[in-house]
Amino acid sequence: MKNIIVTGASGCIGSEISRALAEDGSRLFLIGHKSMDFLRDLKEKIESCCNSSVYTFSCDLSKEDEVDSLFEEIFKISKGIDILVNNAGISYIGLLQDMKISDWDRVIDTNLRSIFLMSRKVIPSMVANKSGKIINISSIWGSYGASCEVCYSASKGAINSFSKALAKELAPSNIQVNAISFGVIDSKMNNFLNDDEKKVLTEEIPASRFGLPSECGKMVKLISQSPEYLTGQIITLDGGLF
């Protein structure tokens, strides 16, 4: 039975990633922060249809002490982690000149600092076992940039570089680190778009539609089962947009 952590598990994409990874029977550690009722409901649904054990935790992943406490609890249940999916993330929409430092810090801490804190905790057991996968959820805007989403784009670009560098560091220990760069997904993060804006954006996508959260889940599952030689890659799922 694989021991798997999914952060941001209460979001549209995170919940579908959790469902997909539970299909083959795993021990899932689902991490949320504010939507714990949803997460507990997800746990019940997964355990009712899959041969998986699910544990839910609330944690502010940008805070070192909370992450330390989180892993104290996780390691009481499992001695090590086989797969870490760093999915937690938030966005900020607006002009950079109007952005407050507190908003900048909140995005960077949630999207990037959390990956550092989480990865640092799982690496020792993965190195000891000479096995493990770290999957970081990125975005096409990390490579191409999005107007009025400068901080979000910067955080995702940093995640891409983080993934490539850490993959080289951990490859001798047979640990794979990859990032999945999602395109425009039909999730709550894009609810700020009005119908006309969605129509224009859809027309730019060769697949002529937004991606589905369930497709994101399927892609994460594929990478979780990928050959060990696949590491240091930024894998794009964007309907042919770029």
Asked if residues 125 and 119 have their Cβ atoms less than 8 Å apart, the reply is: no
Domain count, the chain: 1
Q: Is 144 a catalytic residue?
A: no
Distance CA 238, CA 207 (A): 9
* Tokens coding 34: 């504010």
* Tokens coding 207: 């697949």
Residue type, 181: S
For the stretch 46-55, pLDDT in tens is 999 999 999 9
pLDDT means per 10 residues, the chain with 242 residues, are 96 97 96 92 95 96 98 96 98 97 98 98 98 98 97 98 98 98 92 90 97 98 98 98 94
CATH of the domain at 131: 3.40.50.720
Domain span holding position 190: 2-237
Which of 55, 92, 152, 229 is labelled catalytic?
152
Asked, for residue 242, whether it belongs to a domain, the answer is no
Asked, for residue 44, whether it belongs to a domain, the answer is yes
Local structure of 28: helix, strand or coil: strand
pLDDT of residue 36: 93
Asked, for residue 119, whether it belongs to a domain, the answer is yes
Residue type, 91: S
HSE, side-chain direction, 13 A CA sphere, residue 50? 21
pLDDT of residue 9: 97
Asked, for residue 67, whether it belongs to a domain, the answer is yes
pLDDT of residue 175: 98
Asked, for residue 84, whether it belongs to a domain, the answer is yes
Q: Find, among 76, 66, 86, the residue nearest to 11 by Cα.
A: 86
Asked if residues 176 and 132 have their Cβ atoms less than 8 Å apart, the reply is: yes
Specify the residue for token string 């054990």: 53
